[in-house]
Amino acid sequence: MIPSRDLSERDAELLKFPMRLSLVVGFLMLAAKLFAYWITGSAAILSDAAESVVHVVAVGFAAYSLWLSLKPPDRSHLYGHDKIAFFSDVPVDGIISAPDASTIYDVPLLFDGQGLTEYVMKTLHLEPRQEDLKEWKEFLERLKNPEKEVTIALVGKYTHLKDSYISHIEAFHHVSGATRIKVNLRWVESMDIEKKGAKLLEGADGILVPGGFGDRGIEGKIAATRYAADHDVPFQGVCLGFQLATVGFARETLGLKGANSSEFDPKTPYPVVDLLPEQHGVKDMGATMRLGAHEILLDEASRTAKLYGSTRIYERHRHRYEINPDYIEKLEAAGLRYVGRSDRGRRMEVFEMKGHPYFVASQFHPELRSRPFRPSPIHLGLVKAAAGAK
């Protein structure tokens, strides 16, 4: 028996909640009674698409909308959409084209331009909010029409799998959409720096050392932080990058040869990065890190506070080690100012290097809360500094 497409009041309520995705017969099915299908196979051949729909409907699934990997047709000639609608028992207004887009940020406009917004609101019996996409269009226009370009060297351990850094990639897109500054990422494997030297960073307008785990490539990341410090290249460190920049500073500026994180060298004479106090008794490593958003208080006079427009922020964390408080006084006296702290000043969260154009790093992950209309402030600062340094 084929379910009716008439939505009950209860169904409409269920569909308002986040929808679980499951893969069935080549379709992505949304919600319990399926709001939509995405036809992924033989999209260029409408008859194949129509036949696929017939087979799925025959086994008991009813669609409210179909999204096909086709270019949107001329609305005066909807033969292809009409044919799909006829065989699938879906209104022609529910047949949506989903072709490849130049950027994912095109997709909302692509769907809205085909009337999907109105169709969804009507089908789910939702009240329209009378909102337009003006702000989104303005963001997209700035993203696609940059006035400047910068090259940021991303020094990582997993650069062969760039999706490992997708949050940073999107954070830079958000910055570009706010500033009209296009960010070209140069992917630099930290192990390559260990083998070939920091010359791999030459010509970069800025350097980002993101998070990571394990001791592989650590010295290459530290070398990248020192290159940025010694050559006045705008720098941003995140999580592990924050910790390793502190290690590099301790070695070179304080003269603490052999300084390290106890994570990588348990016998280091100078553990400037050490295990969080509450982690010492932890044996089960699963889900025991310091996680989630925590309150951070920023020095009012700091560059970071100006970027955030506030002295009180909340950012997300994912770490097990932290800056050893026994070394804070020496580090700050030498010019590494910890301008952001949490837990009543006990934990170091953000530092800025005195006398450097832009050398800012954070224990937290600002990229995780970056959004198109609200880019990560520290990424924004890096890109602006890189553009100003050209």
Pairwise CA distance, residues 81 & 43, whole Å = 12
Task: Name the active-site residue from 174, 317, 367, 379.
Answer: 367
Residue 128 burial (CB count, 10 A)? 9
Q: For the CA atoms of 77, 81, 83, 87, what is the dihedral angle to 10 degrees?
A: -160
Pairwise CA distance, residues 67 & 37, whole Å = 6
Q: For residues 251 and 259, is the Cβ–Cβ distance under 8 A? A: yes
Catalytic annotation on 367?
yes
Task: Name the active-site residue from 173, 219, 239, 356.
Answer: 239
Q: For residues 378 and 360, is the Cβ–Cβ distance under 8 A? A: yes
H or E stretch including 243? helix 240-252
Catalytic annotation on 239?
yes
Task: Name the active-site residue from 173, 356, 365, 379.
Answer: 365
Question: CA 240 → CA 47, 53, 164, 275, distances in Å?
Answer: 53, 49, 15, 13
Phi-psi map region of 201: left, alpha, beta (phi>0 left; psi -120 to 50 alpha): alpha
Identity of residue 112: D
H or E stretch including 336? strand 336-342
Q: For residues 233 and 201, is the Cβ–Cβ distance under 8 A? A: yes
Q: For residues 193 and 202, is the Cβ–Cβ distance under 8 A? A: no
Nearest residue to 248 (alpha-carbon basis) of 267, 270, 277: 270
> What amino acid positions are annotated as catalytic residues?
239, 365, 367
